[in-house]
Structure 1
Amino acid sequence: MEIRLAYVDDTLFEIPDGWFAVGFIGAGDALAYDEARRPHRIAGGVAEPLDPVEVNSALAPAVEEAASRLWPEGWTYALAEAFGLNRRSLQRDRLAKNGMHPGVLRELGVMACHDDAEGIGRLAHALAWYADRCSDRDHPVDRLADAERGALNVLASLRAVRRGRVTRPGDDPDK
Structure 2
Amino acid sequence: MLAPSHIHLHLRACPRRPEEVAHQVIHLGDVTVGPETGDLLYVGRDACMRGPHGVVPLDREAYNLALAERVDELAGAVWGDDWSRALAELAGINRRTTARDRIRKYGLPPALLYGLVKLSEREDAREISAVARAVARYWDVHQRAPADAPLRGMIELLHDFRGQDAFRHWQPDYDVSPSLRPDE
Given that residues 20 and 34 in structure 1 are in contact (C-alpha distance below 8 angstroms), is that contact kept between their aligned partners in structure 2? yes
Given that residues 31 and 42 in structure 1 are in contact (C-alpha distance below 8 angstroms), is that contact kept between their aligned partners in structure 2? yes
* d(CA) in 1 for partners of 2:101, 2:95: 12
Cα distance, 1:172–1:50 mapped onto 2, change above 3 Å? closer
The TM-score normalised by the length of structure 2 is: 0.69
Structure 2, gaps ≥5 residues long: 1-6, 170-178
Higher mean Cα deviation, 90-99 or 19-28?
19-28
What aligned pairs does 1:122-133 form with structure 2 within 5 A after superposition? 122-133=130-141
Shift of 1:117: 1.2
Cα distance, 1:126–1:42 mapped onto 2, change above 3 Å? same
Residue in structure 1 matching 2:128, options 116, 120, 130: 120
Task: Give percent identity, aligned residues only.
Answer: 30
Given that residues 155 and 180 in structure 2 are in contact (C-alpha distance below 8 angstroms), is that contact kept between their aligned partners in structure 1? no
Q: Secondary structure at the match of 2:40?
A: strand
Shift of 1:4: 4.0
Higher mean Cα deviation, 37-46 or 104-113?
37-46
* d(CA) in 1 for partners of 2:46, 2:140: 31
Q: Is 1:31 aligned with 2:37?
A: no
Given that residues 152 and 180 in structure 2 are in contact (C-alpha distance below 8 angstroms), is that contact kept between their aligned partners in structure 1? no
Cα distance, 1:96–1:2 mapped onto 2, change above 3 Å? same
Corresponding position of 2:71: 63
Matched AA of 1:154: M
Corresponding position of 2:61: 53
Corresponding position of 1:6: 12
* d(CA) in 2 for partners of 1:171, 1:110: 28
The TM-score normalised by the length of structure 1 is: 0.72
Given that residues 4 and 23 in structure 1 are in contact (C-alpha distance below 8 angstroms), is that contact kept between their aligned partners in structure 2? yes
Matched AA of 1:9: P
Corresponding position of 2:4: none
Given that residues 69 and 117 in structure 1 are in contact (C-alpha distance below 8 angstroms), is that contact kept between their aligned partners in structure 2? no
Shift of 1:110: 1.0
Higher mean Cα deviation, 55-64 or 149-158?
149-158
Give the structure with higher Rg (CA).
Answer: 2
Matched AA of 1:50: L
* d(CA) in 2 for partners of 1:52, 1:171: 47
Corresponding position of 1:161: 165
Shift of 1:73: 5.9
Deviations 1:73-118 (A, max 9, x none): 6312222222122222222221121111111111111111111111
**Higher relative contact order by CA 8 Å / sep ≥ 6: 1 or 2?**
1
Q: Secondary structure at the match of 2:14?
A: coil
Shift of 1:63: 1.4
Cα distance, 1:50–1:171 mapped onto 2, change above 3 Å? closer
Given that residues 5 and 63 in structure 1 are in contact (C-alpha distance below 8 angstroms), is that contact kept between their aligned partners in structure 2? no
